[in-house]
C-alpha cells in the first residue's frame, strides 16, 4: 500500500509538471530580468545585410534614451581631465576631413574608436578600395551644440570616400553590425553614436530593483526589498482596473544581493524609481495634467514600457496622499530627469497581480519581453502550482524562470525581446 501511495504521488507530480511545461510552451514567455538574458548582440547578427532607408534609425527611439546611446554627460573641454580619456584614431583605412591639420577630429571615446575600427574592416571587405570618410567627430567649444554627443567624442558623421549615395543605406546597416549603439541614416550621410560607459555591454543585466527599494506591507510599514519575504502582502495596483490593493509575494524570480547591475533612475518631482534597463514600468501613453487615476479612471492610458525607453516628459503612475487624509490614491507625475548608475544587489519579487509599488511608483514584475501581458500569462503556472516556486527565498534565479528563458530562446522570435 505504501508503494502504491508513493507511485500515485509521483504520478500526480509528473502530471502537474507536464501541465506546467505545456503552459510554458503555450504562453511563450520570458524570464523577468534574467542576467545575461536575450538582448546582447541581437542587433549585430543579421543573416544578410539589409540597407537602412533614408531617415531610418536603429534602434527606432531617440538617441538620448538609455536603450540607444544615452543622455549627454556634458561637453568635454580641452582643459578638462576628461579630455585625456579620449583616444586618437590614426587608422590609415579611415579618412578624417582636416585630420592632417587638426588632431582633435581624430579624438573620440575608446568605445567609439572600437566600433569605428570594426566598421572600417566591414567597409574594406564589402567594397575593396573604398574607405570611410569622417567629416564630423569630436567637436570643442564654441563649435559643439549643447547636448550633442559630438562634444563628448561619442558620435561620428560619415560617408564613403567615393561619395556613392547608393552605398549609404548599406553603410548604415554595417554601422549597426559594427556595434554602434544608435545609427541614423540622415539625408546625405550616416550619424552613429555610442554610450558613455565603456563597459556597458559587459554589465550583468537583470535583477529588476535595488535592494534598498521600498515597498509597503499590509500593516502599513515600509521595508526594503532586501528584507521582503515570500508570503508577505504588499501594496500594489490591480492590473486591470488600476485600483490600489494588497498582493501576495509568491516568489523571487531573481535575488542577487552581491552582484552589480546597471540601473535606470527615473525621477519626478515627487518620487525616484530605480530599476534595471530591461524591466517594465507603466507610463501614460499621452499627456495629462496630473489627472487623478482613482478607482480605475484613465487606467486604460497606462502603457508598459522598458525603463530604457522612458523619456523626460512622460507621465508615470505614483502613490500620493488623498486630500489630507490617511488614505492614498494613484496619480500621474511627469518624468523630470533620467540617469543611470551601477549598484550592487538586485531583487525581483513576483506578486499575484504581477505589479508592485516600489519607492511609491507603479511597476511591473516583468521585463525583457516586449509584451507585459504575455509575460504575466506565462507565469500563470507559477501562480497556480505552489511546487513551482519552492524555496524561493534563496538567492539566485528561480528555476521556473530559467526554464522559460531556455524555452523562449528556441521558440520566440527575437523581435519580441528588448534590445538592451
What sign results for the dihedral spanned by CA atoms 64, 70, 74, 77? negative
**pLDDT tens track of the chain, all 420 residues?**
444 544 444 444 444 444 444 454 444 334 444 443 433 333 333 335 689 999 999 998 889 887 788 888 889 988 888 888 899 998 889 999 986 677 788 999 999 999 999 999 999 999 999 999 999 999 887 777 888 999 999 999 999 999 999 999 999 999 998 989 999 999 899 999 999 864 444 344 446 899 999 999 999 899 999 999 999 999 999 988 888 999 999 988 888 888 878 788 999 999 999 998 888 999 986 544 444 444 444 677 788 988 888 888 889 999 988 776 678 888 889 999 888 787 888 899 999 999 999 999 999 998 877 778 888 888 888 888 887 877 556 777 777 776 776 666 556 555 555 543
What sign results for the dihedral spanned by CA atoms 363, 368, 371, 373? negative
Between the alpha carbon of residue 131 and those of residues 116, 119, 165, 192, the distances in Å are 12, 10, 14, 17
pTM of the complete model: 0.56
Query: Domain limits of the chain?
Result: 42-202, 203-403
Q: CA 171 to CA 190: how far, in whole Å?
A: 8
Residue 143 · residue 150 · CB < 8 Å: no
pLDDT digits (tens, 9 = 90+) for 323-336: 766 788 888 899 99
Q: CA 89 to CA 87: how far, in whole Å?
A: 7
Q: CA 253 to CA 402: how far, in whole Å?
A: 9
- Helical residues (DSSP H) of 256-379, grouped into ranges: 372-378
CA-atom Rg of the chain in angstroms: 24
Report helix, strand and coil shares of the chain as percent, to nearest 5: 30, 30, 40
Residue 277 · residue 262 · CB < 8 Å: yes
What CATH number matches the domain at 42-202, 3.30.1380.10, 3.30.70.120, 3.40.50.300, 3.40.50.150?
Answer: 3.30.1380.10
Using H for helix, E for strand and C for coil, what is the string for 355-375? EEEECCEEEEEEECECCHHHH
Q: CA 87 to CA 80: how far, in whole Å?
A: 14
Looking at the domain 203-403, which fold is it? Answer: Endonuclease - Pi-scei; Chain A, domain 1 (2.170.16)
Q: Is the backbone peptide bond immediately before 59 cis, with ω within 30 degrees of 0?
A: yes
407's enclosing H/E stretch is helix 399-411
pLDDT digits (tens, 9 = 90+) for 9-68: 444 444 444 444 445 444 433 444 444 343 333 333 333 568 999 999 999 888 988 778
Residue with cell 544578410: 48
Between the alpha carbon of residue 150 and those of residues 55, 60, 71, 253, 340, the distances in Å are 20, 20, 12, 40, 20
Amino acid at each position: 500500500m505504501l508503494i502504491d501511495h508513493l507511485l500515485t504521488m509521483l504520478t500526480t507530480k509528473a502530471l502537474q509538471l507536464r501541465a506546467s511545461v505545456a503552459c510554458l510552451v503555450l504562453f511563450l514567455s520570458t524570464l523577468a530580468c534574467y542576467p545575461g538574458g536575450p538582448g546582447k548582440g541581437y542587433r549585430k547578427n543579421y543573416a544578410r545585410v539589409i540597407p537602412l532607408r533614408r531617415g531610418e534609425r536603429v534602434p527606432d527611439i531617440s538617441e538620448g534614451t538609455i536603450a540607444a546611446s544615452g543622455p549627454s554627460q556634458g561637453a568635454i573641454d580641452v582643459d578638462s581631465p576628461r579630455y585625456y580619456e579620449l583616444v586618437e584614431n590614426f587608422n590609415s583605412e579611415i579618412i578624417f576631413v582636416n585630420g592632417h591639420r587638426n588632431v582633435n577630429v581624430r579624438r573620440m571615446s575608446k568605445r567609439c574608436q572600437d566600433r569605428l575600427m570594426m566598421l572600417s574592416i566591414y567597409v574594406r571587405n564589402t567594397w575593396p578600395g573604398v574607405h570611410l570618410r569622417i567629416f564630423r567627430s569630436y567637436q570643442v567649444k564654441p563649435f559643439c551644440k549643447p547636448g550633442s554627443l559630438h562634444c563628448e567624442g561619442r558620435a561620428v558623421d560619415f560617408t564613403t570616400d567615393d561619395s556613392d549615395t547608393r552605398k549609404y543605406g548599406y553603410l548604415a546597416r554595417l554601422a549597426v553590425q559594427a556595434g554602434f549603439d544608435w545609427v541614423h541614416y540622415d539625408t546625405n550621410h550616416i550619424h552613429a553614436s555610442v554610450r558613455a560607459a565603456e563597459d556597458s555591454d559587459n554589465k550583468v543585466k537583470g535583477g529588476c530593483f535595488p535592494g534598498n527599494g521600498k515597498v509597503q506591507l499590509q500593516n502599513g510599514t515600509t521595508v526594503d526589498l532586501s528584507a521582503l519575504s515570500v508570503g508577505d502582502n504588499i501594496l500594489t495596483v490591480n492590473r486591470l482596473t488600476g485600483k490600489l490593493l494588497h498582493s501576495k509575494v509568491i516568489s523571487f524570480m531573481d535575488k542577487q544581493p552581491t552582484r552589480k547591475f546597471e540601473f535606470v533612475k527615473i525621477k519626478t518631482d515627487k518620487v525616484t524609481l530605480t530599476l534595471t534597463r530591461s524591466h517594465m514600468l507603466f507610463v501614460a501613453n499621452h499627456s495629462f495634467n496630473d489627472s487623478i487615476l482613482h478607482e480605475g479612471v484613465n487606467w486604460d492610458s497606462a502603457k508598459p514600457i522598458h525603463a530604457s525607453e522612458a523619456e523626460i516628459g512622460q507621465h508615470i503612475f505614483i502613490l500620493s496622499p488623498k486630500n489630507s487624509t490617511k488614505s492614498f490614491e494613484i496619480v500621474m507625475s511627469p518624468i523630470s530627469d533620467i540617469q543611470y548608475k551601477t549598484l550592487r544587489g538586485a531583487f525581483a519579487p513576483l506578486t499575484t497581480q504581477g505589479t508592485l509599488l516600489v519607492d511609491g511608483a507603479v511597476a511591473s514584475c516583468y521585463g525583457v519581453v516586449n509584451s507585459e501581458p504575455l509575460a504575466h500569462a506565462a507565469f500563470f503556472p507559477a501562480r497556480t502550482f505552489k511546487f513551482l516556486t519552492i524555496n524561493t527565498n534563496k538567492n539566485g534565479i528561480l528555476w521556473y524562470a530559467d526554464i522559460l528563458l531556455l524555452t523562449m530562446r528556441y521558440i520566440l522570435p527575437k523581435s519580441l525581446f528588448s534590445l538592451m
